[in-house]
Amino acid sequence: MTFSLVLEQLLNGVQLGVMLFLMAAGLTLIFGVMGLINLAHGSLYMVGAFACAVVAAATGSFWLGLAASLAFAAAAGALMEVVVIRRLYGRDHLDQVLATFALILIFSEGTRWVFGSFPLYLDIPQLLQGAVPLPGGTAYPLYRLAIIVTGGLVAIGLTLLISRTRLGMRIRAGESDREMIAALGVDIRTLYTLVFALGSALAGLAGAMVGALQSVQVGMGEPILILAFVVIVIGGIGSIKGALIGALLVGVVDTMGRFLLPQIVGLFMSSAQAGPVGGAIASMLIYLLMAAILAIKPRGLFPAQA
Amino acid sequence: MISREFLINGVLALLLLAVPFIASAVGQPFTITLATRIAILALAATGLNIALGLGGLVSFGHAAFFGVGGYVAGILSSHAFSGDPMIFGFEGSKQMLLIWLTAAIVAGLLGLLIGVISLRTSGVYFIMITLAFAQMVYYFAISWPAYGGEDGLSIVVRNQFPGVNTMRPLTFFGVAYGALIVGLGLFAMIRDSRFGAALQAVRQNEVRVASVGISPLPIRLTAFVLSAMMTALAGCLYADLNRFVSPSMLSWHMSGELIVLIILGGTGRLFGPVAGAMLYVVIESALGGITERWQFFLGLILLATVLFARGGVIGLLAGKARHG
């Protein structure tokens, strides 16, 4: 186990964390402003990936595909908000869970209807192929580094958007008192649609970027959606800062756990047994982390003001 | 006076009982399997209904208990079949009654553990945390290779119930139906007991209950554990029905389906899960016969139910529930 191997795994963990942040930021924003739990957020991730794969295959340009993923996911999100989600704001969480669960079924089967069950593939763009040398002798894929940088830029942009712009001011006002901001003449319905579309675009972006690393297929959003839930529960629902820190924590702990635990377990038992045992413990690690954090802070690390 | 809901419940119970016998008489054995599936899913959802309907605890992780029940049945049965002893020299078992007891204990302990942590929170947090814990169990089952991992575990011969031959479809339906009726009876007993009154009061107004000196947490925890145990029992039967148990029983889609059954039927109603399971299985087999994409239409039906028909089937038939 060399230093460069550890560094490589650490970067993989950060990359996973950045992806999770893009998902979790949308979820936590939507919950914070509208008080809505959206299970179908993973479907928007899938929409982004499919849009990118289809447009990239048709035009030959990954960058057009990436733009399409943002546009399509935002449009799908806005449509979803106007047709269904808008009716759910006043309802209890059970209704929201069920309605958005129904949306998952509709989106997944609808996509399978159009594209079939076979995965699509998306190539890494020419510009970002290749690798960057790491200190210690190995090399790290440039594309993964680009994802990390993109995620960092989005995090900065989102923070600036929320703390410095008029839209961000309205979003924060909507979080703290929606009746009052509506009474002051802000069109709250449009604001909600905008926030939903923004969250959707971030999910779509994440889907498109991951699509080039893995295959693009139906159901790809569900595992990452549940991880994103873990992230916002750890970070504190409604908090962007919590989402960022929670996402990095989950990404790094999950990746390092899968890498290190089989080796640690291997110190105590034979290597044939250590792999499966370590793997099984590693697969539960982030949930144990979540349980431990909740046992100490039931409202997450950075609870938003209720 | 007999209420309309009571009448509807009776009709549903008799209908579910009659269908397999008619199916058997006219030589439609597959319909018996469908009816057994309805009974088992209804039992699982009745278990969830204790937490969700009476206690207002939206658990999105009951697949964990359902699947654990299934795995207890599968594991005990496979050890009894192969003769390999388990831990402590225990040889496994093929007796349903013993399996059920074990499953209820295991799921009860798991429920206690998950409940103690999850019930510290409420609302959306509770939904997400129960979901996350169920995922933890799911991933454990996938990555633990001893009992089939991702491929699941077969039960070669269905487990035994004293005095009857469970390999006969109609007999096995009888066992499942009997378990459902007992489960519904327990649900009604809990609902009408002092404990049930406290549980429903905690759902309606936690602060008032606390102010009259009843601590909400132990009540919720008890309900959650009882709920887990009943759902696990249904899981044992489900594994026996399919003679197969796999991680898909633990998946979050399963948790979602269990909630769907309750909502389709009508939240908090005694026979809500039964009506919901009947409707669900009928939709599944009817639409599944017409189109491969039946889940698309199931999604539309579900969406319409949530948005426009909030009382579910029982609500439509029997009118509004008396209590909110």
- Does a structural domain hold residue B143? yes
- Cα–Cα distance measured from residue A167 to residue A162, given in angstroms and rounded to the nearest whole number: 7
Provide residues of B within 8 Å CB-CB of chain A.
Answer: 52, 58, 60, 117, 120-121, 123-125, 127-129, 131-133, 135-136, 139-140, 142-145, 252, 256, 259-260, 263, 267, 293, 295-296, 298-300, 302-303, 306-307, 310
Q: What is the pLDDT of residue A108?
A: 92
pLDDT digits (tens, 9 = 90+) for A269-297: 776 777 777 878 888 889 889 888 887 88
Of residues B125, B128, B299, nearest to A106 (C-beta): B299
pLDDT at A240 over 60: yes
- Cα–Cα distance measured from residue A76 to residue A267, given in angstroms and rounded to the nearest whole number: 50
Whether B299 and A109 lie within 8 Å, measured CB to CB? yes
pLDDT digits (tens, 9 = 90+) for B214-265: 899 999 999 999 999 999 999 999 999 999 999 999 999 999 999 999 988 8
- Cα–Cα distance measured from residue B109 to residue B229, given in angstroms and rounded to the nearest whole number: 9
Nearest in space to B271 (alpha carbons), one of B63, B50, B42, B60:
B42
The tokens describing B121, both together, are 């929170």
Which residues span the domain enclosing B141?
A: 4-318
Q: What is the pLDDT of residue A209?
A: 92
- Does a structural domain hold residue B282? yes
Q: According to the 3-state scheme, what is the secondary structure of chain A?
A: CCHHHHHHHHHHHHHHHHHHHHHHHHHHHHHHHHCCCCCCHHHHHHHHHHHHHHHHHHHCCHHHHHHHHHHHHHHHHHHHHHHCHHHHCCCCHHHHHHHHHHHHHHHHHHHHHHHCCCCECCCCCHHHCCEEECCCCCEEEHHHHHHHHHHHHHHHHHHHHHHHCHHHHHHHHHHHCHHHHHHCCCCHHHHHHHHHHHHHHHHHHHHHHHHCCCCECCCCHHHHHHHHHHHHHHHCCCCHHHHHHHHHHHHHHHHHHHHHHHHHHHCCCCHHHHHHHHHHHHHHHHHHHHHHHHHHCCCCCCCCCC
A36 contacts A85 by C-beta, under 8 angstroms: yes
B190 contacts B268 by C-beta, under 8 angstroms: no
Determine the residue of chain B that is closest to A237 in CA distance.
B125
Which of A37, A86, A97 would you mutate first to test chain B, the one with the most B CBs within 10 A?
Answer: A97
- Beta-strand (E) ranges in B209-277? 244-245
pLDDT at B173 over 70: yes
A11 contacts A145 by C-beta, under 8 angstroms: yes
pLDDT digits (tens, 9 = 90+) for A97-108: 889 999 999 999
pLDDT at B54 over 50: yes
Of residues B117, B124, B131, nearest to A294 (C-beta): B117
3-state SS assignment for residue B8: helix
User: What is the average pLDDT value for chain A, to the nearest integer?
Assistant: 88
The C-alpha of A159 sits at a distance from chain B's nearest C-alpha, in angstroms, of 24
- Cα–Cα distance measured from residue A58 to residue A65, given in angstroms and rounded to the nearest whole number: 9
Identify the residue with better confidence: A21 or B82: A21
Other C-beta atoms within 10 Å of A264: how many?
A: 13
- Cα–Cα distance measured from residue B253 to residue A142, given in angstroms and rounded to the nearest whole number: 36
Which of A85, A105, A284 would you mutate first to test chain B, the one with the most B CBs within 10 A?
Answer: A105
**Identity at B231, one-letter amino acid code:** T
Whether B144 and A276 lie within 8 Å, measured CB to CB? yes
Within 8 A of B51 by CB-CB distance, chain A residues are none
Mean pLDDT of B143-159: 83
- Does a structural domain hold residue B324? no
Total domain count, chain B: 1
- Cα–Cα distance measured from residue B317 to residue B283, given in angstroms and rounded to the nearest whole number: 18
Q: Does A97 touch chain B (CB under 8 A)?
A: yes
Whether A290 and B142 lie within 8 Å, measured CB to CB? no
Q: Does A110 touch chain B (CB under 8 A)?
A: yes
pLDDT grade for A244, boundaries at 50, 70 and 90: very high
Per DSSP, B60 falls in state: S
**Identity at B266, one-letter amino acid code:** G
Determine the residue of chain B that is closest to A273 in CA distance.
B145
The C-alpha of A31 sits at a distance from chain B's nearest C-alpha, in angstroms, of 9
Q: What is the pLDDT of residue A283?
A: 82
A52 contacts A35 by C-beta, under 8 angstroms: no
- Cα–Cα distance measured from residue A267 to residue A134, given in angstroms and rounded to the nearest whole number: 28
CA–CA distance from B163 to each of B92, B160, B178 (Å)? 20, 9, 14
Within 8 A of B293 by CB-CB distance, chain A residues are 109, 112-113
How much is the ipTM here?
A: 0.85
Mean pLDDT of B170-193: 94
Mean pLDDT of A236-251: 90
The C-alpha of A269 sits at a distance from chain B's nearest C-alpha, in angstroms, of 16
Q: What is the pLDDT of residue B321?
A: 56
Nearest in space to B223 (alpha carbons), one of B58, B55, B53, B20:
B55
Which of B113, B121, B248, B307 would you mutate first to test chain A, the one with the most A CBs within 10 A?
Answer: B307
Whether A106 and B303 lie within 8 Å, measured CB to CB? yes
List residues bridging with B161 in a β-sheet: B164
Whether A294 and B306 lie within 8 Å, measured CB to CB? no
Of residues A105, A283, A287, nearest to B133 (C-beta): A287
- Cα–Cα distance measured from residue A207 to residue A69, given in angstroms and rounded to the nearest whole number: 8
Of residues A97, A283, A294, nearest to B127 (C-beta): A97
Mean pLDDT of B188-193: 94
- Does a structural domain hold residue B239? yes
- Cα–Cα distance measured from residue B265 to residue B279, given in angstroms and rounded to the nearest whole number: 8
pLDDT at B324 over 70: no
Which phi and psi angles does B245 have, rounded to 5°? -135, 135
Q: What is the pLDDT of residue B323?
A: 45
Q: What percent of chain A has pLDDT over 70?
A: 98
Nearest in space to A49 (alpha carbons), one of A219, A232, A199, A197:
A219
Determine the residue of chain B that is closest to A92 in CA distance.
B123
3-state SS assignment for residue A242: helix
Give the up-direction half-sphere exposure of residue B113: CA atoms within 13 A in the CB hemisphere.
Answer: 15
pLDDT grade for A245, boundaries at 50, 70 and 90: very high
pLDDT at B40 over 80: yes
- Beta-strand (E) ranges in B197-277? 244-245
pLDDT digits (tens, 9 = 90+) for A173-230: 887 887 888 888 888 888 899 999 999 999 999 999 998 888 888 888 888 898 999 9
pLDDT at A306 over 80: no
